[in-house]
Structure 1
Amino acid sequence: IWLDYSLWLGIYLGIFTFLTFFKDYRHSKNYSIGDNNARVETKIMACVTSFNEDPELVKRTLISVKSAIYNSGDVFLLDDSTDYNISMKLKKFSLSNGVKYIHRVNRSGYKAGAINNALFNYGHNYDLLAIFDADQRPVPDFFERVSHYFNDKIVAFVQVPQSYTEIRSPVAAGAAAQQKPFLHIVMRGRNHISAFSLGSGTVYRIEALLDVGGLEEDTVTEDIATSVLLHEHGWISAYADFFGIWYGEPPTDATAYVKQQGRWSLGGFQLLKPLLKSNLDSGQFTDYLGSYLYWLKSGPIMLTMLIAPIIFLLFRIPFLGINLYMYILLYYPILITTIVIFVYTMRGEAQYNVKSFYLHQCVEMLSFPYVLLSFVNWVTGKKKPFNVTPKGSGRVNLRPVIPQLVICVLEILSVLAGFVWYYSTGDYVLKLAIILNIVWSLYFIVFLAGSIIIAVLSRADVEGEILESWDAA
């Protein structure tokens, strides 16, 4: 019964996410970046956040931010590092280069707490607050290209896409491909409706942040939680889809990637409670609900999808209470339609091709056990430590793909058992059901195997050596 219910839920969620994606696609066709010449004079506090990051990486980011802000404000380094040597190097550099250095003894509220600390102490001297992660640097004309949005007095923040430009492994390539539909379709479609902050590359109106009491600190993804607060208080957000942040580094190996996805998904699950209490309009509510349901489908629902053909073929236990012909007539047209429309909407993205689509699906398969774990942590109320996404060189670690390896082996055994069952029965309807489940197992094997392969290929490149065999492909 639970499997039957979960599979139907998965089908309904698939339809819902398809409809919301298509809605965003329609809205994205009318997207406009606005008048870049209508600049408003503002004083900006640009904050770079750091927690035990490589000092040289942070220094390069500070130089980029300082160059971009020019005479329009000040650069702050919000350093929560617990390593004394790192803190001293960053403090010395900041004092020598006109950067305001803030170091906290405790990490209350983590990244959001560090930003709020700076906001409440210094925000009254500025109009806007910009946030940059330690490895994401603005282009020189960044502030010139976003300031005009604040001519509209109800714009709370402007978000720019976080472009990954340091692609050093298959996992990194998959993470970058995964972001393209979201950044170039979904966020464009939600411009001035429900486009939400992505944490880095966000420029806030300080008045708006103070109106909602600062960034949310009771969640591991303060960006989207704060966006909900701002939208329900009547503020709007703008999405500026231009190449504004460069040298963004995606997770390089499987370990880094699943940690990132685990943190993001936990924040997505934590969003449900404040979302249900919010006063958002129906369109905004639906958009944010879609974010929660995306993670639900990527974790627990994905598990049921994977084990369903295993249970049927390997253990010969039927589970779906529906006429087989009705299932074929109803579900497969929907599945095919969603795939075709997705490919159609992405056809304009020159860097998103068949290989990108495959990598996209592989990294989602790579993350599902950890999204599932986040779901369990959310349901049980277990506190999960806040982990920054590891940066720098990747390394081989097969532990993240043990669940995929186990399930992939079971899927292969199920296919073999399915063929044995097929040739041993004379029931035509049963034969059809067996074939359908074999097809599903083969479909999952393709992406499970891919997730394992890219995790193995994304090995350490300490000297910056790029995987030549991967580039050649």
Structure 2
Amino acid sequence: MSPVREKVPTGRVRVSAALQAATMLLPARYNYSAYSVLAGPADAPPTEDRPYTVRMRRLARRRPVLTVLITLFAFAFESTFFGWLIASIEIPDRRLDPLLYGGAIGMIVATATIELFRLVNVVTLCLATLWARDPVPVVPDTTLRVAFLTTIVPGKEPVAMVEQTLRAARNVRYGGTYEVWLLDEGDDADVKAMCERLGVRHFSRRGIEKFNTPAGAFKAKTKHGNYNSWVDVHGDDYDVFVSVDPDHVPLPNFCERLLGYFRDPDVGFVVGPQIYGNYDNLVTRWAESQQYLFHSLLQRAGNRRGIAMLVGTNNAVRIKALQSIGGLQDSITEDMATSLALHAARNPATGRNWRSVYTPDVLAVGEGPSSWTDYFTQQHRWSRGTDEVVLRTFARTARRLGPGRALHYGLLMSYYPLTALAWLLGAVNAFCYLVLGAQGVHVPQEVWLMLYIDAAFFQIGLYVFNRRHNTSPHEEAGSSGLTGMVASTLSTPIYVSSFVGALLRRKAGFVVTPKGDSTSPDRLATFAPGLRWAVFFVAMLVVAELTGHVDNAMFMWPALNLLICLTPPALWFVLRRRRRPEESEA
């Protein structure tokens, strides 16, 4: 459990005691108020004779030489290793048995492709390091009419939890028109009574056929359908809506730090980092650490071209921009799909592409998954939604994005599908050798090991170097982020299942991540994707022993994957056994 960091990092602005006192709804041991102003002090309103555009600061302005050097070394070592590997490839003799010849070719292609994927990941990290920017805040225009939105699915999300969010929303400061709305999927009597008691406006699409369609903008039982229904009825009464997920508590300066960027007429939405306040169990801690790279670096890299990705947990959206693309997009990851659609569209008023802004300011603190079941459900939804966009819509959207924006989004979305493909290709590699006895790439093991370790060292070094940009108030300053890397690795079987499902076009619906007391219990079935792969790898290792296809280097891949598959259920089993004596004493 991380203590409050006493020293606010360079560039972070201390805030008044009043703001800190207003965050009583949040865990007191973390200095959230200091992290709500990471982007620095707000500029004064621009003068009328100069049109306003969002200003950006380079993150690399601090330690610029070291940043460039470590980035170049990471790229140079990885590209050198990849080039050496390709140059070392020898095509096998065609006189081989056709099965062995085909297996050898398959192993060569798989090995080269896996290393190409790793090179893509390194290039993504290098470019993000150089591109990362923070926006310069500006005082908001109080003539904007603002609606605060959050949702509830009665029965799946505790009413008490949503009430806490609404109470915090009522305390958000803004000098203009500001009204709080709850979008209720169930039109529940208790929920309506709560809204009346709190002075919150209530909306429900329940029972309205137009707003409950099988697919599209108003798809039933989806978040995007709920929001789009509200926009259709009430959107013209406001200029911007700010929103959080129902488990996220907004800080009092939520509007003050988000709305100023809308002085730029081409800004379609503003988004902040996702932070988990229930930082009291292993799964939640690992889940938040896993998000470091996306929220602390990749999103900031999107600021260079004004193409940060929309994240549904906390954001501000210009309603006219959303209406110009037909609302939030129909996808199980509606925020990412909406980002692509918006950035590919133009602002009718200016003729320029819509832009977005990512602020590192921590302005809402939510509840993360606290069980393996809920964590894997979340990872499945995110990866499956990304895979579907990559496979079905990105190619035609990329043309309207332009080369630079398309490159950024292509690299950003490549992680899930490339991770899944690398796992599948590794399984093919292991099968070809351990079962068929085929031989793939022949290289000196000492040279391979030396180049591989050097490349991996600089890749991890660049990852750790960028940890100084971490936006999480929970993780210790100077921490390595190792748990986040571990969490990503342990989720690989889930990413494989998601990718295969997207490839085969299996149906996948939006699942609300349970919150509070509704947390899903873990059971053996939770780990089914990994356990199925574990059986596969064990079977291969047994066959290899029986057939004599034994090699220490080739054993490493299935053995490592077996460890990945079995670690989550092993952790669950150990922690469950530890909890039993505590529960019996209570």
In the superposition, the TM-score normalised over structure 1's length comes to 0.84
Question: Relative to 1, partners in 2 of residues 1:224 and 1:11: Cα closer, same or farther, differing over 3 Å?
Answer: same
Q: Distance in 1 between matches of 2:197 and 2:111?
A: 60
1:290 and 2:407 aligned:
no
1:277 and 2:429 aligned:
no
Q: Distance in 2 between matches of 1:358 and 1:456?
A: 22
> Counterpart amino acid of 2:410?
L
Moved more, 452-461 or 8-17: 452-461
Question: Relative to 1, partners in 2 of residues 1:387 and 1:210: Cα closer, same or farther, differing over 3 Å?
Answer: same
Query: Deviation digits for residues 88-122 of structure 1, max 9, x if unmatched?
Result: 11111112322221112247421111111111211
1:385 and 2:512 aligned:
no
Question: Relative to 1, partners in 2 of residues 1:368 and 1:90: Cα closer, same or farther, differing over 3 Å?
Answer: same
Partner of 1:299, secondary structure, is: helix
The runs of 5 or more residues in structure 1 that have no matched partner are 425-429, 467-473
Identify the residue that residue 522 of structure 2 maps to in structure 1. 396
Structure 1 contact 75–99 (Cα < 8 Å) conserved: yes
1:38-437 correspondence to structure 2 within 5 Å: 39-52=141-154, 53-68=157-172, 72-81=177-186, 87-105=188-206, 106=212, 108-109=218-219, 110-193=222-305, 194-217=307-330, 219-233=331-345, 234-246=353-365, 248-272=366-390, 273-278=392-397, 279-305=400-426, 308-309=429-430, 312=433, 314-315=434-435, 317-318=437-438, 320-324=440-444, 331-346=452-467, 349=470, 351=475, 357-392=481-516, 393=519, 395-405=521-531, 407-408=533-534, 434-437=551-554
Q: CA deviation at 1:200?
A: 2.0
> Counterpart amino acid of 1:404?
G
Larger Rg: 2
> Counterpart amino acid of 1:61?
T
Q: CA deviation at 1:357?
A: 3.9
Q: Distance in 2 between matches of 1:440 and 1:354?
A: 31
> Counterpart amino acid of 2:134?
S
Partner of 2:485, secondary structure, is: helix
Structure 2 contact 205–226 (Cα < 8 Å) conserved: yes
Query: Deviation digits for residues 101-144 of structure 1, max 9, x if unmatched?
Result: 11122474211111111112111111101221110121011101
Partner of 1:285, secondary structure, is: helix
Moved more, 439-448 or 339-348: 439-448
Query: Deviation digits for residues 296-346 of structure 1, max 9, x if unmatched?
Result: 12324224335644663x436235345456755765543333223222222
Structure 2 contact 131–304 (Cα < 8 Å) conserved: no
Provide the aligned C-alpha RMSD in A: 3.3
Question: Relative to 1, partners in 2 of residues 1:413 and 1:275: Cα closer, same or farther, differing over 3 Å?
Answer: closer
Query: Deviation digits for residues 260-289 of structure 1, max 9, x if unmatched?
Result: 111111110121232211211222112211
Partner of 2:367, secondary structure, is: coil
Identify the residue that residue 102 of structure 2 maps to in structure 1. none
Identify the residue that residue 41 of structure 2 maps to in structure 1. none
Question: Relative to 1, partners in 2 of residues 1:213 and 1:412: Cα closer, same or farther, differing over 3 Å?
Answer: closer
> Counterpart amino acid of 1:101?
H
Query: Deviation digits for residues 170-192 of structure 1, max 9, x if unmatched?
Result: 22111111001111111112115
Q: Distance in 1 between matches of 2:465 and 2:275?
A: 22
Q: Distance in 1 between matches of 2:522 and 2:272?
A: 32
> Counterpart amino acid of 2:310?
S
Q: CA deviation at 1:35?
A: 3.1
Partner of 2:309, secondary structure, is: coil
Identify the residue that residue 427 of structure 1 maps to in structure 2. none
Q: Distance in 1 between matches of 2:405 and 2:122?
A: 17
Question: Relative to 1, partners in 2 of residues 1:373 and 1:353: Cα closer, same or farther, differing over 3 Å?
Answer: farther
Structure 2 contact 468–478 (Cα < 8 Å) conserved: no
Identify the residue that residue 469 of structure 1 maps to in structure 2. none
Q: CA deviation at 1:43?
A: 1.2
- Higher normalized helix content (fraction of residues): 1
Q: Distance in 2 between matches of 1:190 and 1:34?
A: 15
> Counterpart amino acid of 2:197?
S
Structure 1 contact 40–148 (Cα < 8 Å) conserved: no
Question: Relative to 1, partners in 2 of residues 1:142 and 1:408: Cα closer, same or farther, differing over 3 Å?
Answer: same
Structure 1 contact 268–292 (Cα < 8 Å) conserved: yes
Structure 1 contact 48–78 (Cα < 8 Å) conserved: yes
Question: Relative to 1, partners in 2 of residues 1:185 and 1:352: Cα closer, same or farther, differing over 3 Å?
Answer: farther
Q: CA deviation at 1:11?
A: 1.6
Runs of 4+ in structure 1 off by over 6 angstroms are 352-356, 412-421
Q: CA deviation at 1:398?
A: 2.0
Q: Distance in 1 between matches of 2:578 and 2:556?
A: 37
Identify the residue that residue 131 of structure 2 maps to in structure 1. 27
Q: Distance in 1 between matches of 2:386 and 2:577?
A: 30
